[in-house]
Structure 1
Amino acid sequence: MVPEVTLNIKDTSELTASELITIMQARTKVFVVEQNCAYQEVDDADFNARHVYFTNHQELIAYTRIISDGNPNYIRFGRVLVAAPYRKQHFGRQIVTETIKEIQHLYPEKGIKIGAQNYLRKFYESFGFQAVSDVYLEDDIPHIDMILSGGH
C-alpha cells in the first residue's frame, strides 16, 4: 500500500529543530552508515540549502537538497535519498521531479548540475540530464557530473 505523503519545501532557516534532526538522521543513515562512507555529510552548504522532502506524518520518506553556490549558469541539487522502507515505490523519481520543478520555478534561466553516483546515470538521463565528465571517485564511490539545460 502506498502511504499518504506530504511534499515539503523549506529553506534551512524555516525548518523546525525536529525537522532538521530528522533530515540529518536520514542523510547520515543512508550516506554514511548504509554506504559505509566516512565523510562530513553535514556541511556548510546546509546553512543556505533549500530542502525538498516527502513525509508521511512525521516520517521522512524521500529527500533532496538544492544549493545555489553563486554559479551564474547552474543550480545544484544532491543528497537524494529514499528511506529504506519506501524504496522500489517510485519515490526517487517523484522527489527528483519535484526538485527539478522547484529549481525551474526559482531559477528559470539556469541549468541544473549534479554529481550523480554513476550507477544512477540512466535514471538521471531519463529526466534529460547529460553526462559532462568522465567517471571519478568521490569518497571512493564512482560519480559522474551531469547537466540538465536551463531556460525551461
Structure 2
Amino acid sequence: MRWSWSRFADLGVDGLYDALQLRCCVFILEQGPYLDPDGLDRVAWHLLGRDASGTLQAVLRVVDPGAKYAEPSIGRVAVAPEVRGTGLGRALVAEGVAGCGRLWPGRAIRISAQAHLQRFYASFGFETVSDTYLEDDIPHVEMLRKEGP
C-alpha cells in the first residue's frame, strides 16, 4: 500500500474525487444518508492508501486541533469493501495515529467512533470517554488516546 498525506488544497481534483467516492460508497451507500462534506475537510490532513495499480483502497482524515475538538481528531475512516478483512483497516488507523504523532508530537487524539468498533480502536490505545450517543442515526462513543511520551 502506498500512503500519501495531503492537506485539502493539495489533494488535487483526482485525489479529492477518489476520496469522496470511497467515502460515499462506505458512509452513504452502506450506512445511510447523511452529509459527508461537513466543512471540516478544509481544516484536515487526508491520508489516502492506494494499491499497486493506483486504486484508492483506504482513506481517513485528521481534523486539526481546535476545529472539532481541542485535540486532533481522526475520522472518516473508510476501507473499500473488496479489501476488508485483509488488515488494511488496521494499517490505515496505525498510519493515522503515527501521522498525528509526527504532526502534533505528544498530543492526545480524540475520535467519535462507531460504538461497535470500540474494541478495534482500544487496540490502538483509545479509551471510551463518553456514553453512547447517536451520530447520523448510528450509535457512537467518544474515545481518547492520551498523550504519547
Matches within 5 A, 1:24-43: 24-36=20-32, 38-43=33-38
Aligned AA for 1:50?
A: W
In structure 2, the partner of 1:127 is: 124
Per-residue CA deviations over 1:23-71 (Å, capped at 9, x if unaligned) read 00110111011112x2110121111211112101331111110001426
CA distance in structure 1 between the partners assigned to 2:92 and 2:16 by the alignment: 18
Are residues 1:22 and 2:18 paired? yes
In structure 1, the partner of 2:43 is: 48
For structure 2, which runs of at least 5 residues remain unmatched after alignment?
Answer: none
CA distance in structure 1 between the partners assigned to 2:5 and 2:138 by the alignment: 28
Matches within 5 A, 1:7-18: 7-18=3-14
Are residues 1:68 and 2:64 paired? yes
Aligned AA for 2:86?
A: Q
Instruction: Give the secondary structure class of the aligned counterpart of 1:77.
Output: strand
The share of aligned pairs that are identical, in percent, is 36
Give the alignment's Cα RMSD to 1 decimal: 1.4
Are residues 1:85 and 2:63 paired? no
Q: Is the 8 A contact 1:73 1:111 kept in 2?
A: no
Instruction: Give the secondary structure class of the aligned counterpart of 1:25.
Output: helix
From 99, 112, 133, the equivalent of 1:115 is: 112
Aligned AA for 1:80?
A: V
CA distance in structure 1 between the partners assigned to 2:28 and 2:129 by the alignment: 26
CA distance in structure 1 between the partners assigned to 2:25 and 2:70 by the alignment: 32
Instruction: Give the secondary structure class of the aligned counterpart of 2:144.
Output: strand
Give the structure-1-normalised TM-score: 0.92
Q: Is the 8 A contact 1:68 1:75 kept in 2?
A: yes
How many residue pairs were aligned? 147
Instruction: Give the secondary structure class of the aligned counterpart of 1:40.
Output: coil
Q: Is the 8 A contact 1:118 1:144 kept in 2?
A: yes
Instruction: Give the secondary structure class of the aligned counterpart of 2:4.
Output: strand
Give the structure-2-normalised TM-score: 0.93
